[in-house]
């Protein structure tokens, strides 16, 4: 096992990794920007290193600075969390060259699954169903129009190196495709420094279902069930839950099998997520997230398995600590992302938190790095907390989430707590009638 791990991240996920390391008896190193010098992940790590100014590209995305911090502190491994460098094949390659263990998949797997068009082709060859679309990257607008004419409108243009909803544009007809194609390419270039895009058939109102998988260096692959992530705004998830009410036992097994086929196709190691769209009893692979997910706590709640600890053990060369038939799924869990933003306009709301009171009680978990007098920076993602509830069934999980949102206090900035409460009270949500278009009713 490792003696010391550097955490190449910030906020709640950095704290979450620190807690797992403490339980495993591993020392931790926090890296931070100048803006984060007073953050809780810095306070609770065993050591800390400032790696640059506030802007991410000069600190948390600065590969040289992160590697230097690991070397001067004698860290044996780096846990990237999610976001930032977590899916960077280049970063994983540098770690390998410097003989520092990257807690995640191998560089070649990051490269294959991080290039979304290439990932589509890889899982298609393995027999996993995908949406009809382009065979790889689309060269130009002319080719895009030919493909769209073949598969039929509506279509969606996606950044090949993308994620987080950036570089994605929907076209209902030829005229709209001509308009959005160059826009998507430019968005892809701005967000990922690569203008490559591909095209898929657009499903009007699917459910977004993802399966958590783990793989180890011994060739073992297991799944830990699904998460429903259909409630989104601009392809950014707002509410996640496990299990999905939409899946019959037969459909659940079919999707789980497909997820593991996709993982085996690239000899996957560590934690990852296979994402599907589900509509009219048909499911389709859309992408693989080659890292721990923001919403991993709901899986932990229904399985009782610590995914961060398992990531660390796998990276240290150990096999997965359980077999597929040893995983027991119990109850229901829901996660609401609490963001520093206006609940109506969705405008970011940085500032200082003047008062903070988290909810508690049975079946309630709060993953956060905020506190009273904490400064919410404009430089990073707007999520300030993850509120997770667990119940014996979905109704109990919703009830606990509703009462937790009612008593959660974050003052000094605007948050989406009231919006999340509206969702919990929505009759359609309570009935489980979900799709990726669910939030349309809340957006004017």
- Computed from CA positions of residues 316, 317, 321, 323, in that sequence, does the dihedral angle turn out positive or negative? positive
What is the per-residue pLDDT across 80-117, written as a single tens digit (0 to 9) for each?
999 999 999 999 999 999 999 999 999 999 999 999 99
Give the pLDDT of residue 444.
Answer: 62
The helix (run of H) or strand (run of E) holding residue 118 is helix 116-125
Give the pLDDT of residue 270.
Answer: 98
Tell me which residue of 423, 415, 418, 392 sits closest to 405, measured CA to CA. Answer: 418
Tell me which residue of 164, 286, 296 sits closest to 225, measured CA to CA. Answer: 296
Find the helix packing angle between 107-114 and 89-97, rounded to 10°. Answer: 170
- 3-class DSSP state for residue 330? coil
In order of their start, the domains of the chain are: 4-103 (3.40.50.20), 132-201 (3.30.1490.20), 207-442 (3.30.470.20)
What is the per-residue pLDDT across 192-244, written as a single tens digit (0 to 9) for each?
888 999 999 999 999 999 999 999 999 999 999 999 999 999 889 999 999 99
How is 33-65 classified by DSSP, letter by letter?
EGGGTT-HHHHHSSEEEEEE-SSGGGTTT-HHH
For tokens 């540098």, the residue is 94
Catalytic annotation, residues: 291
> What mean pLDDT is reported for the chain?
96
Give the pLDDT mean for 271-282.
97
Strands 77-79, 4-7: parallel, antiparallel or unpaired by DSSP?
Answer: parallel
pTM over 0.85: yes
What percent of the chain lies above the pLDDT cut of 90?
Answer: 94
Report the distance separating Cα 427 and Cα 431, nearest Å.
6
Give the pLDDT of residue 162.
Answer: 73
Is residue 164 very low, low, confident or very high in pLDDT (cuts 50, 70, 90)?
A: low
Q: Assess whether pLDDT exceeds 70 at residue 123.
A: yes
């Amino acid at each position: 096992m490792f003696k010391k791990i550097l955490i190449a991240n910030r906020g709640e996920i950095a704290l979450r990794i620190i807690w797992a390391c403490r339980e495993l008896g591993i020392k931790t190193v926090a890296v931070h920007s100048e803006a984060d010098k007073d953050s809780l992940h810095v306070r609770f790590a065993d050591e800390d290193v400032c790696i640059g100014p506030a802007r991410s590209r000069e600190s948390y995305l600065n590969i040289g600075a992160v590697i230097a911090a690991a070397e001067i502190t004698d860290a044996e491994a780096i846990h990237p969390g999610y976001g930032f460098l977590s899916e960077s094949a280049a970063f994983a390659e540098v770690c390998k060259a410097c003989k520092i263990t990257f807690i995640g998949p191998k560089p070649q797997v990051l490269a294959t699954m991080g290039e979304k068009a290439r990932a589509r082709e890889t899982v298609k060859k393995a027999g996993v169903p995908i949406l009809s679309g382009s065979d790889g990257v689309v060269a130009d607008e002319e080719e895009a129009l030919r493909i769209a004419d073949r598969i039929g409108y509506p279509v969606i243009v996606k950044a090949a190196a993308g994620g987080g909803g950036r570089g994605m544009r929907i076209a209902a007809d030829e005229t709209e495709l001509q308009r959005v194609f160059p826009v998507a390419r430019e968005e892809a270039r701005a967000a990922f420094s690569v203008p490559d895009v591909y095209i898929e058939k657009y499903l009007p109102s699917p459910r977004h279902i993802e399966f958590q998988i783990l793989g180890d260096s011994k060739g073992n692959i297991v799944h830990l069930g699904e998460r429903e992530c259909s409630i989104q705004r601009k392809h950014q998830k707002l509410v996640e839950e496990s299990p999905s009410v939409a899946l019959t036992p037969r459909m659940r097994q079919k999707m789980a099998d497909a997820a593991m086929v996709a993982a085996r196709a690239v000899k996957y190691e560590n934690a990852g997520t296979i994402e599907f769209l589900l509509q009219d009893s048909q499911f389709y692979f859309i992408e693989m997230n080659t890292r721990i997910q923001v919403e991993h706590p709901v899986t932990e709640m229904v399985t009782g398995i610590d995914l961060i600890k398992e990531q660390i053990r796998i990276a240290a060369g150990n096999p997965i600590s359980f077999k597929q038939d040893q995983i027991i799924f119990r109850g229901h869990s829901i996660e609401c992302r609490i963001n520093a933003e206006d609940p109506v306009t969705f405008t970011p709301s940085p500032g200082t938190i003047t008062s903070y009171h988290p909810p508690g009680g049975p079946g309630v978990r709060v993953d956060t790095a905020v506190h009273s007098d904490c400064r919410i920076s404009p430089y990073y993602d707007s999520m300030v907390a993850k509120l997770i509830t667990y119940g014996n069934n979905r109704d109990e999980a919703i009830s606990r989430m509703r009462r937790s949102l009612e008593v959660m206090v974050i003052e000094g900035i605007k948050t989406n707590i009231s919006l999340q409460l509206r969702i919990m009270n929505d009759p359609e949500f309570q009935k489980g009638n979900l799709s990726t278009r669910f939030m349309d009713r809340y957006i004017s």
